[in-house]
Amino acid sequence: MKDWSETRMKKAGKKEGKEMGAVWLWLLGAGVLAFVHGQPHSALVDKLVEVAPAPNNQLSEAIPAYHKITPTITSFALRLYKHLASESPGNIVFSPVSISCTLALMALGAQANISTQILEGLGFNLTEIPEADIHWGFQSLLHTLVLPSPKLELKVGTSLFLDKKLQPQKHAVDRIRELYGALAFAANFTDAAATGRQINHYVKKQTYGQVVDCLQELSPDTRLLLLNYVFFKAKWKQHFHSYQTQKQGRLSMDEKMSTHTPMMHQKVMHRFLYDQELACTVLQIEYSGNALALLILPDPGKMGQVEAALQPETLKKWNKFLLPSLLDLHLPRFAISGAYNLEEILPHIGFTNVFNTETDLSGITGQLKKTISRVLHKATVDMNERGTEAGAASGLLSQSQSQNTTWTPHSHFNRPFLLLLWEVTTQSLLFMGKVVDPA
């Protein structure tokens, strides 16, 4: 592949054969395809300039900046989830961090009015937080998430593919590299089929073989492709034992349908509460690494009520009142996935004019009238006895029983439930979804 950095492609694939173990999560976040209307520049770009990261002292000072953006990412995730839930009764899974990161990077290369709309669509108040602080916040977040951890495997990456006929703006490519760690490649989109296969191969290597055929098709009109991916792997702090798994547990998908699925079981201490006002069980499960899972199980017929009440304040109150309890837990073993065309969804939650024909990304490409026509997001999660993803939250209402009671509450996840996965250090919502059909 002459137009791309082959050395990096080879390095990216070194771990492809690595054993995945018990659980994995891959997230291909918000791939943005920009289609060009107008004449391209005549200069050819065989290799884009890659800029060294910011100096270490600058990174150190920026690390606390993620606290300025993670609450907004959580609020955005809840808004997006509610819209997805209103449109589809089935499984939901997406990565708030991945989508937010990609949209913020888009804002960096867009004209001023579109940049403002993207950042305000994410939920940022630009009178309270300057645009520069938002981008440094994302740099701080991404830098912290990928710090090495012996117990948690978390990989977040961004790649920018520009058509080789474009003349990119060097200062913009430098800035994207500095703030978002994005690798920039030149690509031949004229041969859309071959380039699509090469990009799929690249993403497959970056995600150790778990993301296959992420792009179904590319158009020869494509001029820019922005990809963000997240790979996550963790083990339960307290494993489920496979010999305790009920092979054919029954899970009610709704009032009329049910399915059989393996049901894991353990009787251990977890942070737990029952919210009497919202009629739901809230359970927090720890992982060996710096990650937590929050599972929310509405009472029968109460899913809509719980979803309507999802607010940052609800999560904070739940987190406040979660208390350690010896719990008789039954949890389905499941694998779910989701794929979304976000350009059709985001306009409903504040991104009104971002995806129209006048959107200008000349800040990146040096060419006017770039229309963003596709914003793709894919995610999948696989949970079993040895491990799963991260989660932690904040919350509402109080414990339904005293800490000192000898009663062992049952928590049987035999109907649809919500799942939130968190990285603890940054309090980042890596993943959010709903499990309706575990198969």
pLDDT at 226: 82
- Intervals of the chain under pLDDT 50: 1-63, 368, 387-407
- 20 φ, ψ (degrees, to nearest 5): -80, -25
Cβ atoms within 10 A of the Cβ of 419, count? 23
pLDDT at 407: 43
pLDDT at 21: 29
pLDDT at 366: 59
pLDDT at 60: 46
Domains of the chain from N-terminus onward: 21-235+336-382 (3.30.497.10), 242-332+389-434 (2.30.39.10)
pLDDT at 20: 30
Q: Write down the mean pLDDT value for the chain.
A: 75
pLDDT at 27: 39
User: Could you write out the DSSP letters of every residue in 58-70?
Assistant: HHHHHGGGGGGTH
Check if the beta carbon of residue 392 is closer than 8 Å to that of residue 282: no
The model carries a pTM of: 0.81
Check if the beta carbon of residue 104 is closer than 8 Å to that of residue 98: no
In the beta sheet, which residues pair with residue 222?
35
pLDDT at 421: 92
Cα Rg of the chain, angstroms: 22
How many residues would you count in the chain?
439
**pLDDT tens digits for range 183-216:** 888 888 889 899 888 888 887 787 777 677 777 7
Residue from 279, 287, 286, 275 nearest 317 by CA? 275
pLDDT at 113: 85
